[in-house]
Amino acid sequence: MKFEAPAGSNLFDRSQIVGKSTPRIDGPLKTTGQAPYAYERHDMANQAYGWVVGSAIAKGLIASMDVSDAQSAPGVIAIVSAPDTKPVGKGIANNAPLFGGPEIAHYHQAIACVVAETFEQARYAASLIRTTYDRSQGAFDLAKVAPDAPLAKGDDSKSTLGDFDAAFAAAPVKLDARYTTPDESHAMMEPHATIAAWEGDKLTLLTSNQMVAWAKQSMGKILGIDPANVRIDSPFIGGGFGGKLFIRADAVMAALAAKKAGRPVKIALQRPLIANNTTHRHATIQHIRIGAEKDGKITAISHENWSGNQNGKNGEDATLQTPKLYAGANRLTANYVATLDLPEGNAMRAPGEAVGHLALEVAMDELAEKLGMDPVELRIVNEPKMVPGSPEKKFSDRNLVRCLREGAERFGWSRRSKTPGSMRDGRWLIGMGVAAGYRAGPTEASGAHVKLDADGRITVETDMTDIGTGSYTIIAQTAAETMGVSLDQVKVELGDSRYPKSSGSGGQWGAASSTAGVYAACVNLRRAIGEKLGFDADAATFEDGSIRSGNRSYKLTEAGALSADGEMTYGDFKDDYDVGTYAGHFVEVGVDAYTGVTRIRRMLSVCDAGRILNPLSARSQVIGAMVMSAGAALMEELAVDPRFGFFVNHDLAGYEVPVHADIPTQDVVFLDTLDDIVTPMKAKGVGELGICGPGSAIANAIYNATGIRIRDYPLTLEKYLSEMPAVA
């Protein structure tokens, strides 16, 4: 049903349920182990176990594969192997086939799957497969291939405004610096996992996937079948961060294995295959030049970025935030992508902007140092009135200056020493750092089906997913608020492709978009109730299970059982507006004067993201993103073996991530802002804003503590220990 918003509607401005801190309604299921994650489900009887075998080379051909010993091993039911299986195609956004052979595109590309009665039998039999290869030379070192990398495909890969070269040459104060960020791995708790079953030509996948509709279309394309014959069911996801936006080898191999075995097959990718077989964040090389007047006003700004990927496109565009954050009449941004034979790079929380801030916001700190200017004030001086990269555009709602000012006041920024290396606390050198944050506020079309039962209960059905972010709760809050019932009167069903297509979870669009779709369905249900009972639903008040229309009142139950669909779609309003979210990030660190070890002492993020639908879960979202940003700044790095083209530290024993002890104090403040442009909820999402900036604030704090500037992430102590100031 087409949705038209009620004229003059301000339903959510009274905020009786939406906008209130609410414990997650799925929390009891998760804390008691009852939430049905993909690998643990028992919906399908007679499940067999699959073990995926990954390629032992990064580039070349499979010369031979002997599966005879594996085939005769105890418990083995079937083996899907490259030599005897027709190659499958690429799905949505896959840069290489998810099932390889005879050609190998990257290390640990899936080349076989052993199916057995038990997990242990499948794993053992897989070890008996003997594969020989014809290895080819590959390109594995970004630094070597970057100088010849072409501009990324697309109209926005290079953008200019004014005359950057002339303005930079004339600027009295200049910064010219290069920064690097490494490849990074997803480290979600739940690995990629799928249970696949066929019924005739119909395929069901119980899986862990962020985007159900994309997954349905992708599996159809990969297997060459009608997507209508594919059902995706993903009600609970144990972390995604972009790594589960697209179909991966677990789903493809489970489907192929189930077809060959003639029974359901379950697969969870082993941890090393998370790094090398799925997707990771691309490494970048960034060159930033800024020219400014002596009062700090930027006259010229350039940000060039190099990354690489399997297909020579779809790189990590670290320039995305640069056209949006600061004023400056003369500008240049350029994004170059090299072809690399490493595993596929793809979306990871705030792709582009997350690593772009690691360079841009350190560059701003360096510029402030050259100017002898407070870093907070430098950012405020360069606050734009219109979108600098698109000067014909306005900001839908922007409160970055307020984030910075309120953050500085709350954090005690005035106590920061202006002289690096001069603040001590016993053996610790103390420093404070700041960074601004920008993340786009995208929206995606999203729909839902809403049912009113005869007893007044509401059920919401949508293929929206919950990746640990609280989707169940904010959708229930939206339906409860719109329909005028209590939260416990709402049941939410998510993640099933049989339900209406939603926005899915990703890109910071999930919360604002999915709730807008639920709102649209609820408004249509209200209208259906009004039509049945004889009142104008758009002018009525739905509250406490009752309805008031003029001088008449009704019980919601008088309407009986009804249902309605609704979808929120978006026109071309972004032609006129830039919809973004903003933050001021503040960090205090201590650096051990004797050992060089860095310890984060406290972090603060002040966020401007429109209406916060559930401050309790939104705060957790931002805190989690701040932790990921700390990991990127201080410890996370996939180490590339440039000889053989694989990530050496491909498990959680070698790939370090932050733990609770690494960050003792975090605080998050949400401004009381509403964005009237973006959705009826006036919300924009906040899940990725928290990773855009804190890492650079950490780098700036380390400089303030030590006087040492490091431009190559992660900021591990061997990069600066030899330059530490002498201990008195």
Active-site residue 688, yes or no?
Answer: yes
Q: What is the DSSP code (8-state) at residue 389?
A: T
Count of alpha carbons within 13 angstroms of residue 560, beta-carbon side: 3
Question: Which candidate in 190, 344, 366, 688 is catalytic?
Answer: 688
Helices 694-706 and 353-371 pack at an angle, to 10 degrees, of 30
Q: How many helices (H) and strands (E) does the chain have?
A: 16, 33
Q: Which two tokens stand for residue 678?
A: 């973006």
> How many Å apart are CA 472 and CA 465, to the nearest integer?
8
**Which amino acid, residue 31?**
T
Q: Is the peptide bond before 102 cis (omega within 30 degrees of 0)?
A: yes
* Residue 402 burial by Cβ neighbours in a 10 Å radius (0-12, 13-18, 19+): middle
> How many Å apart are CA 327 and CA 343, to the nearest integer?
38
* Residue 461 burial by Cβ neighbours in a 10 Å radius (0-12, 13-18, 19+): buried
Q: Which two tokens stand for residue 64?
A: 């031979």
Q: How many residues does the chain have?
A: 728
Q: Which two tokens stand for residue 654?
A: 């070698």
For residue 231, what are the β-bridge partners? 204
Q: What share of the chain is helix, strand, coil (3-state, %, to 5)?
A: 30, 25, 45
> How many Å apart are CA 240 and CA 214, to the nearest integer?
15
> How many Å apart are CA 724 and CA 717, to the nearest integer?
10
Strand order in the sheet with 265-268: 76-81, 110-116, 48-54, 265-268, 193-199, 202-207, 230-233
Q: Which two tokens stand for residue 388?
A: 């600098």
Catalytic residues, which ones? Answer: 688
